[in-house]
Structure 1
Amino acid sequence: MAGRTDEQHRIALFIDFENLVTNTGISSNNFDLQPALDQLLEQGKVVFRRAYCDWSRFADAKVRLHDVGVELVDVPPSTRAGKNSADMRLVIDALELCYAREQIDTFVIGSGDSDFCPLAYKLRENGRTVIGLAVKEASSRMFVNACDQFIYMRPKSRGDKDKEHGGKGHKGDKSDEGRGGKRGGKGGKGDEGKGHKGEASGKEGHEGKGGKSKAEVPAIAREVVQSLLRRATGPLNPSLIKETIVRKEPDFDERDHGFSTFARLLEALEQEGLLRRIQQGRQGYVVGPDTDLPVASEGKGGKGRHAKAPAPVEEEDEELESYPDPEDEGL
């Protein structure tokens, strides 16, 4: 499983629905799973989707969950107090799937309850990746640390979520200019550029319209970058840096620190002098700030798995080797 790429991940999603809509700021009538699904689909295929609860209490959420392909498992109350065994059913089904379907390598647990810590430990013990999914204010820190990664659901109105999706759904220069213009505060192109630069440096840009806190590089990012570059024998793939940060802090999200993308965070680290970004072909890499070797030598000399980009020097050597030997011509 360690050799799989992101596109090959097979993901199973288990949701303790009552936990996600009880005292979390999210109600069953505005519950929107799509933003979380979008993040999971970036990591692989979500081949199993199941939600557990007493659906007679949350009937208004059933249609939206059906629309995104979630199977609803009804767990009626088993006590006079109205408690049900949804969490127990979820644990049993997750372990059964773990042992019966080896191709499913990632399990997502939609809950913030620390009662699911033993399940997370057992899944990881069996070589599975565990992702938690819940509202931040209703998530146990113990459960967050028990997961490999944690995705926070943000309680927002349906209209706000639809508007946010509309803004994020278009990639390219136009959308970037629009975001830059909002941050810069003016409509001109020059101000748009300043908006992006400010966001990256953490000194000028702000996140969104509400004037939230300025972008600041988190300490965990500095720590990981310095540690990896100190041991690196060649250029590093930026994805390795992100994966290492998430392993140390499962709920890490660069957007919480004011950066729209991880590339913006790397740009801020470069401006602080902690790293240098280079380009080899279509792939970007990260090297130490004091690296004196040319880019080609970095790609050639690095023995790590992230330092295998073709170097221009190697291509030049191949061309020289194709020339005929002058002594052969004399013969």
Structure 2
Amino acid sequence: MVSDKERRIALFIDFENLVTNTGISPSTFDLQPAMDRLLERGKVVFRRAYCDWSRFREATRRLHDFGVELIDVPPSTRAGKNGADMRLVIDALELCYAREHIDTFAIASGDSDFCPLAYKLRENNRMLIGLGVKGATSPLFVKACDEFVYLKPPTTTKAAARRESPRKTSGERAAREIPPIAREVVAGLLARATGPLNPSLIKETIVRKEPDFDEREAGFSTFSRLLQEMERQGLLKRQQLNGRQWYVLPPDAAGSEKETGRGEDRNDAPSDAQRRESD
């Protein structure tokens, strides 16, 4: 997988799965948050959504506004079942083999039936990003992805923001809980390191082990802020080299604490490298 250039992303949406018993209704479905996350990683060159659109006419206008091609898959049985997932799989594999410049696939669904597709795409050196609603996504599919982004129902997002904002302002300086996976990865990497570690390596390792990791769920606006808190708790030491890039060292490593402390204030506005790794 290539990481040193802009990615070319193909987005496949299993629409019925995203709006059935997930808290997201067809009329309020908003693709913008998912598109924002994908556009941070590269260019979305292919966009398709699959379902029986006669059942979700109210959603078609919103999807058209994002340039999504709607693939209509009418019911194929009396019970109303359709072959949307099978059609999606076939199209994704065809694109994988026919368009080598597309190096990243995004599958918007929480269905574990897409696990075999995920394995095949990764086998063909494609990065796989999953998108789904947290309470309605199979853990098996999450683990099958290289990275997983949770979509939040609009009402849940607003209510959570109201509940969390007072806590953030009142205890902003208090020690916050470090996600266990972050502790585990940092400790393991530092134990084997022979020199300073790039923060992006730490973030990539965490995401490989836990594809749905998001530091914002633990209350940190960026990954750099999480590392700052870990330094305050004595789990690591950060050091700025050549006045630019920050690196991570073991907590007992020799270094100028004065330099690290002085640079922390400047680091409140992350560098380009930190912005890339914090997302």
Q: Deviations over 1:167-194 (max 9, x none)?
A: xxxxxxxxxxxx9998335xxxxxxxxx
The gaps in structure 2 that reach 5 residues or longer are 258-279
Instruction: Give the equivalent residue in structure 2 for 1:15.
Output: 13
Q: Indicate the structure whose relative CO is greater, using CA pairs within 8 Å and at least 6 residues apart.
A: 2
Shift of 1:283: 1.6
Provide the TM-score with structure 1 as the length reference: 0.72
Change (3 A) 1:158 1:287: closer
Matched, 1:197 2:197: no
Aligned counterparts of 2:98 and 2:211: Cα–Cα separation in 1: 27
Alignment of 1:47-126 (within 5 A): 47-126=45-124
Aligned counterparts of 1:159 and 1:255: Cα–Cα separation in 2: 13
Q: Tell me the number of residue pairs that the alignment of Structure 1 and Structure 2 aligns.
A: 255
* Partner SS state of residue 55, structure 2: coil
C-alpha RMSD over aligned residues: 2.4
Q: Is the 8 A contact 2:239 2:255 kept in 1?
A: no
Q: Deviations over 1:141-173 (max 9, x none)?
A: 111111111111111249949xx8xxxxxxxxx
Instruction: Give the equivalent residue in structure 1 for 2:240.
Output: 279
Instruction: Give the equivalent residue in structure 2 for 1:308.
Output: none
Instruction: Give the equivalent residue in structure 1 for 2:209.
Output: 248
Matched, 1:226 2:202: no
Aligned counterparts of 1:142 and 1:46: Cα–Cα separation in 2: 25
2:150 aligns with one of 132, 149, 152? 152
Change (3 A) 1:144 1:159: closer
Aligned counterparts of 1:10 and 1:224: Cα–Cα separation in 2: 29
Shift of 1:97: 0.5
Instruction: Give the equivalent residue in structure 1 for 2:271.
Output: none
Change (3 A) 1:222 1:70: same
Q: Percent identity?
A: 69
Provide the TM-score with structure 2 as the length reference: 0.85
* Partner SS state of residue 37, structure 1: helix
Matched, 1:40 2:38: yes
Runs of 4+ residues over 6 Å off in structure 1 = 179-182
Aligned counterparts of 2:9 and 2:208: Cα–Cα separation in 1: 18
Q: Deviations over 1:67-99 (max 9, x none)?
A: 112111111111222111110110000000100
Shift of 1:254: 1.1
Instruction: Give the equivalent residue in structure 2 for 1:129.
Output: 127
Q: Deviations over 1:232-282 (max 9, x none)?
A: 222211111111101001111112222222122111111121111111232
Matched, 1:183 2:181: no
The gaps in structure 1 that reach 5 residues or longer are 165-178, 186-194, 203-215, 296-331
Q: Is the 8 A contact 1:10 1:103 kept in 2?
A: yes
